[in-house]
Chains A and B, each alone.
Chain A
Amino acid sequence: MSLMHPRRYLTLVTGYCALAILPVSYGQRYILKNGTALAADSVSLGVGVLVQQVALAGGGSSERRFPIGDIARIEFPEPEALDEAEKLVAAGSGAEALKIIEPVYRQFAPFSKIFGSYWPRAADLRLKALLLGTDSSAITSSARELIQSGLGPEVSGSAKLALAQLDVRAGKEALANVMLEEILREATPRVQARAWLLRGDLAAARAAHAEALECYLRIPAFYGTQDELMPAALLGAARAYKGYGDGSRAERSALDLIDTYPATLQAAQAKKEFNL
């Protein structure tokens, strides 16, 4: 396959002359459905509205109100807290992650469904951070909030997975399995991969090592682009291999984890468990 088709060449060269690059950065602003752009620092948030103070020519000021429903998209730079929280969640530091994700979660909550809002990711990270703790009611309400948000299969799948995890914690494996089946039918690949991980954990707890392996190894086999789930999958597989009696594959899986994802919690755990 050649990507350089002569036609493309023509298309490109006929426009050779302008050398500027498209602007890539912009300020914090709300874009209304009528195309109006409102700088974020020119408005404040009211109940269901954005409020703008307008100075009157003769002195004084008046308020202009823009219903949130009229906002087409929001253009805010991505909050750094999101990436930081993600790292903390991956490191298992749920409480610290919650501390930094809560403000973002609250800031974007009024715009949860608006294009460009960071609320879905913040809410998802918040749920993941909560899952690292033991507050079942907070996890449940956070998950339900996401399921009801109507933000699509990725978000709702992730929330259903959290509920399945709660079922597992409560020892209701059958209930969890029903939820997992649903997730595997409907969810996005990322959530499906997480569901397989949970299934692997369930099988491993029953010492059903072959079944656990088939669950964990689905991640590298079918979800190879989901890099963030790979450490957990590799650690689970290493343990399951060991339980299955295949020591050499167990060690190889652990080594693969330590080599490829050295900075992860799972790698540290593998080093300890497998004396590597």
Chain B
Amino acid sequence: MTLSRKSVDAQLFRRSTLVLTLLALSGTLSSFAQVVIPLVNQFAELEMQLKAKKTGDAAVLLDEIVRRAQAGETLPSGITLEKLLLTAANTNFQAQLYPRAAELGEAVGRLPSVGPVALGEARMIRGLSLALQQKYAEAIPVFKSAEESSTYRDKALLYGAMSANQAGQLSVAIETYNRLLATSARDRDWADAAISLVDLHLRSNNISDARRGLGLLRGNLALVDNLAGLNLLSLQLGDALMKSGDNAGALACFRTITPRDALIAEQKIRNATLDRALARLQAIPGPSATDSDAIRRLNARREQAKASLDQVEKLPGYDATLRYRLAYTFQERGGVWEAALLYEDLIANFPESLERETAYFGLIRCYADAGRFEKVRDSVDRFTHAFPASKFGSQALYLAAMAAGQRQDLATQLTFLGLATDRYPESELTEPMRLMSANALFSLARYAEARTVVQCYAKDFPNGNFIEEARYLAAMADLAEGRGSDAERQIKDYLKDFHEGRFVPDARYRLAAIAYGREDYTASAALCGKWLADYPPEQPQRGELFSLQADALAGLGRIPEAIAAYQEALNLPLSDEQLGYVLDELTRHYQARREFDAAVAMWQQFAAEKPDHPFVINAAYWISRIRNKEGKSQEALELVAQITRRYVTDPNRGDVERLLVELAASLARPPRVKMGEPKPDPAADQVLFDRVDQLLLSDGTRANPTAKARVFFVHSEIAAFRKNAALRDQLLGKIASTYAPDQLPPGILGKVGDLLLSLGQPDVAGKFYEQIVSAHPKSIFADYGYTGLGEIALLEGNGAEALTRFNAAIDVAGARFKLKEATLGRAHAQLLLGKFDAARGLFEQVAGNRSWRGEATAEALYQLGELALRRGTSDDLAKAQAHYQRIYLSYKRFPSWVAKAYLRSAQTFDKLGQIQEALTTVNRLFTFRELEKFPEWREAAVLKSGLQARIPASRAPEKS
């Protein structure tokens, strides 16, 4: 069969378009030469084979034609060697004869002249053929050269990047993907390439680039079909960021990850969409080249998405892992509340999770860091139940204890340390936990317990890591408990054993303080001087030393030198407490020397230099007092009112109450009368109360509960100054019933608490005291709270609790107002605990303090008598008698103690066998009719009858 030239040309062209499809090869095979087997016949056969999709046979035939053409045979008109070679290369490629396809592609490139489109196509065929033979490294430069073709640029970039990836040339792959993504349209292919690029960045540890890429993909989520793959990459990236310490980045990454079920559901929807799209394309009869390519691309994308989905489905711990990572990174970023929610969820919902044990550890830390200590206790219980042998248990409790300590919740800290000791007695953290426990006990003023703990520590770990701290803490515990000589001995031992120790400067300061305490002012001043000479000016305790030196010098009566030392101290860093002390001492000395202007100048300078310092209130207080003394009461009043108005609504500015008392005193004080002028009538209470309102309140503060309570407080103080106790109590009662404790400042809380306690309402009083201790532990009125709670504990018969509270009043709160009551309370607590020697020491302290002379003295003397009576020797009975006699002779103002003293005195005489003296004493009691209301009156009557019965009538004294 022969075909007309035109017909063959047309048909070949048509076939090549149809079968060689994807190249979009254009052109015709329009002529043939007459050879043994005419080329035209070979082309005709080729046409049939291509039509029958016999690409293998067609490739063989094309090879033959190529050979003949290369041998010099003339090709039919319209068919060039370039087109022939290209067709052959393409057909070999279709037949998967990749080595030959690569050769032919290369042959096209070697032709002396070749069009750019054909050249690009040939390079693509060669590159792909090499890649399909897994000769990726060889394929890379071929694709690189194919980029020159504007037609094939994007594909060359894509396959070039893929080849580089397969060849392990990651940087080349990344660079190629970057060039591709820089110019290609944002479509689903772009998303595929971007995912591959992120994967490469991750494998190359280019974390920031990977992060940027994922961010870009997240912003174009609608284009991403492989959500599962994207999530897996996010997980990988998060891990990499976490490993590099970038927890914020890791958290941002993990937060974008969809939980497993939701991800699977979403991916299935996307896969179904891909399936539908694919089915639609596959249903098209006689698909175009575009359709065929779209089908293949879609198919590849679907396969990848399904593979990623499969991977997610095979990860049963996916959600637990994600929870743990999220929780950990939240926690590391300070998001302990969020982390706790995640840990709780992991623990509750993933019982088989490998992360559960560490999740508990994290959970406890989170609750501790958030200050949620009840939750810590609960989670510790659950943890120890779930993992009794976990090594994390004691660590978690140790960290929780540390967190509690940082929040000054020392009782909770001790609870956690106790739990750790009970549940993990063999913990490697035993040493630091014991010391932490001792420190907490010391801070809580539980000195004896602190000492016991450190003594046990020293015994168990004589060469322990914290032996220096333990030794020093033991000495400090003795010092705090008033055993100065024991403390001194231990401090000296410490200095001998740790002469380079970290507490040496403090130890030397304490020795000076101990000397001061035993009134050896000369030694104290000398030790201070030596300290100041030995340590450099920047030593942080220097101010404290000057202050102590000043105290010692003042003790020696060297007041000008003391004032100079206090002034030195003022120029150095001091804690607020020390600063207040130094300022007050200087003020006291200035006043004693009648250097009022110097005192006022000092406070004015302080207020000017530190206008926002809390002691501005002290400044106002002292200036006001001094000006009042000088008779400048109006000036003082205005100053106090002005400062008070600034803080009147803030319950946390507890110092304001000092000013309020001063203000009340100014108002209640009768005006000075000039010589010769008549004494004016005192102003009515209401007039003064109105003046208080006017001085303290403004329109903005009139409705504020704290401000109003403060006004009532001043009213009550005025009533007190005017000796109207009933009105004072009525006003304080009004405060108690009108305002919640959290609306009241500590000074008022203390006064109200005391009133309630005196009215026999310890439960209600306790709430006010608790508010002081919990909300205002640093207040100057904090000792009201501790002392009040101590009194309540005494009423309940709880000596240990009472002792702790009274100790805290003195050692923690500084006992600025309640030192007498706290000391007396300590004595009573010791008595209750059966520690009579300790109690006697404290009662003697009270009885011997001249400035406390009054009812407290009477009470202390009575108790000293009781203690002597308890010992019962004749010498002790005589001592007891002396105490009782001192009461009824010197403290008649306190009839309840007088009644007790008379009775006990009579009983003691009786015990001594001095019946006549006993009877005389009883009769003396009956001379005081005001004692009739006391129970001792009736007891005395009974005693008297007994005594009278035992002495002869002639010797009986006359009835009074």
Interface positions of A (Cβ within 8 A of B): 1-22, 24, 189, 210, 213-214, 217-218, 220-222, 224-225, 237, 246, 249, 252
B60 vs chain A, min Cβ distance (A) = 21
Q: Which of B11-27 contact A (CB under 8 A)?
A: 21-24
Chain A residues within 8 Å of B338, by CB:
217, 220-221
Q: Let me know if B195 and A17 touch, CB within 8 A.
A: no
Instruction: Give Cα A12–Cα B26 distance, bound, in whole angstroms.
Output: 24
Chain B residues within 8 Å of A224, by CB:
254-257, 326
Q: Let me know if A214 and B289 touch, CB within 8 A.
A: no
Chain B residues within 8 Å of A4, by CB:
162, 165-166, 196, 199
Which residue on B lies nearest to A17, using beta carbons? B22
Q: Let me know if B341 and A221 touch, CB within 8 A.
A: yes
A243 vs chain B, min Cβ distance (A) = 13
Q: Which of B267-300 contact A (CB under 8 A)?
A: 288-297, 299-300
Instruction: Give Cα A18–Cα B299 distance, bound, in whole angstroms.
Output: 14
Instruction: Give Cα A237–Cα B341 distance, bound, in whole angstroms.
Output: 14
The reply to whether the CB of B187 lies closer than 8 angstroms to some CB of chain A is yes
Q: Let me know if A15 and B345 touch, CB within 8 A.
A: no
Q: Let me know if B337 and A213 touch, CB within 8 A.
A: yes
Not counting A16-B159, A20-B289, a sample of 8 additional A-B residue pairs whose C-beta atoms are within 8 angstroms of each other reads A6-B166, A13-B159, A14-B296, A15-B293, A16-B293, A220-B335, A224-B254, A225-B255
Instruction: Give Cα A188–Cα B440 distance, bound, in whole angstroms.
Output: 50
Instruction: Give Cα A246–Cα B369 distance, bound, in whole angstroms.
Output: 11
Q: Let me know if B342 and A222 touch, CB within 8 A.
A: yes
A228 vs chain B, min Cβ distance (A) = 14
Chain A residues within 8 Å of B131, by CB:
9, 13
Q: Let me know if A220 and B152 touch, CB within 8 A.
A: no
Q: Decide: A3 near B229, CB < 8 A? Known: A12-B300, A15-B292, A18-B290.
A: yes
Instruction: Give Cα A246–Cα B370 distance, bound, in whole angstroms.
Output: 9
With beta carbons under 8 angstroms apart, the residue of B124, B128, B199, B292 that contacts A3 is B199
The reply to whether the CB of B428 lies closer than 8 angstroms to some CB of chain A is no
- A-B contacts, 15 listed (Cβ < 8 Å): A3-B308, A4-B165, A4-B196, A12-B300, A16-B22, A17-B289, A18-B294, A19-B151, A21-B189, A22-B188, A221-B326, A222-B259, A222-B345, A224-B254, A246-B370
**Proximity string of chain B (526-559) to chain A, C-beta cutoff 8 Å, 1 when within and 0 when not:** 0000000000000000000000000000000000
Q: Let me know if B307 and A5 touch, CB within 8 A.
A: yes
Chain B residues within 8 Å of A214, by CB:
337, 341
Instruction: Give Cα A8–Cα B296 distance, bound, in whole angstroms.
Output: 10
Q: Let me know if A2 and B159 touch, CB within 8 A.
A: no
Q: Let me know if B294 and A22 touch, CB within 8 A.
A: yes
The reply to whether the CB of B334 lies closer than 8 angstroms to some CB of chain A is yes
4 nearest A-B residue pairs (beta carbon):
A17-B22, A18-B293, A15-B296, A224-B255
**Proximity string of chain B (190-227) to chain A, C-beta cutoff 8 Å, 1 when within and 0 when not:** 00000110010001000000000000000000000000
Which residue on B lies nearest to A260, using beta carbons? B252
Interface positions of B (Cβ within 8 A of A): 21-24, 124, 128, 131-132, 134, 151-152, 154-155, 159, 162, 165-166, 185, 187-189, 195-196, 199, 203, 229, 232-233, 236, 254-259, 262, 288-297, 299-300, 303-304, 307-308, 311, 326, 330, 334-335, 337-339, 341-342, 345, 370-372
Instruction: Give Cα A230–Cα B257 distance, bound, in whole angstroms.
Output: 15
With beta carbons under 8 angstroms apart, the residue of A12, A19, A221 that contacts B342 is A221
A34 vs chain B, min Cβ distance (A) = 14
Q: Let me know if B341 and A218 touch, CB within 8 A.
A: yes
Instruction: Give Cα A225–Cα B229 distance, bound, in whole angstroms.
Output: 16
Chain B residues within 8 Å of A222, by CB:
259, 341-342, 345
Q: Let me know if A12 and B326 touch, CB within 8 A.
A: no
Which residue on B lies nearest to A7, using beta carbons? B303
Chain A residues within 8 Å of B151, by CB:
19
Which residue on B lies nearest to A190, using beta carbons? B262
Q: Let me know if A17 and B334 touch, CB within 8 A.
A: no
Q: Decide: A11 near B300, CB < 8 A? Known: A16-B22, A217-B341.
A: yes
A211 vs chain B, min Cβ distance (A) = 12
With beta carbons under 8 angstroms apart, the residue of B132, B292, B294 that contacts A13 is B132
Q: Decide: A19 near B155, CB < 8 A? Known: A1-B232, A2-B199.
A: yes
B868 vs chain A, min Cβ distance (A) = 52
With beta carbons under 8 angstroms apart, the residue of B124, B257, B326 that contacts A16 is B124
Instruction: Give Cα A240–Cα B291 distance, bound, in whole angstroms.
Output: 58
Q: Let me know if B326 and A21 touch, CB within 8 A.
A: no
Q: Let me know if A3 and B195 touch, CB within 8 A.
A: yes
Interface centre among B257, B258, B297 (most CB of A within 10 A): B297
Q: Decide: A13 near B128, CB < 8 A? Known: A18-B22, A21-B185.
A: yes
Chain A residues within 8 Å of B341, by CB:
214, 217-218, 221-222
Which residue on A lies nearest to B253, using beta carbons? A224
Chain A residues within 8 Å of B294, by CB:
18, 20, 22
Which residue on A lies nearest to B185, using beta carbons? A21
Chain B residues within 8 Å of A252, by CB:
334
B411 vs chain A, min Cβ distance (A) = 18
Q: Let me know if B296 and A12 touch, CB within 8 A.
A: yes
Instruction: Give Cα A189–Cα B308 distance, bound, in whole angstroms.
Output: 22
Which residue on A lies nearest to B280, using beta carbons? A35
Interface centre among B24, B189, B290, B372 (most CB of A within 10 A): B290
B302 vs chain A, min Cβ distance (A) = 10
Instruction: Give Cα A11–Cα B330 distance, bound, in whole angstroms.
Output: 42
Instruction: Give Cα A159–Cα B292 distance, bound, in whole angstroms.
Output: 45
Chain A residues within 8 Å of B155, by CB:
16, 19
Q: Let me know if B254 and A9 touch, CB within 8 A.
A: no
Chain B residues within 8 Å of A2, by CB:
199, 203
Which residue on B lies nearest to A220, using beta carbons? B338
Q: Let me know if B290 and A9 touch, CB within 8 A.
A: no
Q: Let me know if A17 and B199 touch, CB within 8 A.
A: no
Q: Let me know if A1 and B24 touch, CB within 8 A.
A: no
Instruction: Give Cα A225–Cα B259 distance, bound, in whole angstroms.
Output: 10
Q: Decide: A12 near B185, CB < 8 A? Known: A3-B199, A217-B337, A221-B341.
A: no
B369 vs chain A, min Cβ distance (A) = 10
B696 vs chain A, min Cβ distance (A) = 27
Chain B residues within 8 Å of A1, by CB:
199, 232-233, 236, 311
A180 vs chain B, min Cβ distance (A) = 17
A191 vs chain B, min Cβ distance (A) = 12
Instruction: Give Cα A2–Cα B198 distance, bound, in whole angstroms.
Output: 10
Q: Decide: A24 near B299, CB < 8 A? Known: A13-B132, A17-B24, A224-B256.
A: no
A175 vs chain B, min Cβ distance (A) = 26
Q: Decide: A15 near B297, CB < 8 A? Known: A4-B196, A217-B337.
A: yes
Chain A residues within 8 Å of B292, by CB:
15, 18
Chain B residues within 8 Å of A18, by CB:
21-22, 288-294
Chain A residues within 8 Å of B154, by CB:
19
Interface centre among A6, A12, A17, A252 (most CB of B within 10 A): A17
Which residue on A lies nearest to B372, using beta carbons? A210
Instruction: Give Cα A15–Cα B291 distance, bound, in whole angstroms.
Output: 10
Interface centre among B124, B297, B338 (most CB of A within 10 A): B338
Q: Let me know if A220 and B255 touch, CB within 8 A.
A: yes
Instruction: Give Cα A18–Cα B341 distance, bound, in whole angstroms.
Output: 52
Q: Let me know if B162 and A9 touch, CB within 8 A.
A: yes
Interface centre among A5, A11, A214 (most CB of B within 10 A): A11
Q: Let me know if A20 and B196 touch, CB within 8 A.
A: no
Q: Let me know if B23 and A17 touch, CB within 8 A.
A: yes
Q: Let me know if A11 and B303 touch, CB within 8 A.
A: yes
Q: Decide: A12 near B372, CB < 8 A? Known: A2-B203, A4-B162, A17-B24.
A: no
Which residue on B lies nearest to A9, using beta carbons? B162
Which residue on B lies nearest to A230, using beta carbons? B255
Q: Let me know if B304 and A8 touch, CB within 8 A.
A: yes
Which residue on A lies nearest to B339, using beta carbons? A221
Q: Let me know if B304 and A3 touch, CB within 8 A.
A: yes
With beta carbons under 8 angstroms apart, the residue of B132, B255, B291, B297 that contacts A10 is B132
Instruction: Give Cα A10–Cα B163 distance, bound, in whole angstroms.
Output: 11
Q: Let me know if B295 and A15 touch, CB within 8 A.
A: yes
Chain A residues within 8 Å of B166, by CB:
4, 6, 9
Instruction: Give Cα A131–Cα B214 distance, bound, in whole angstroms.
Output: 36
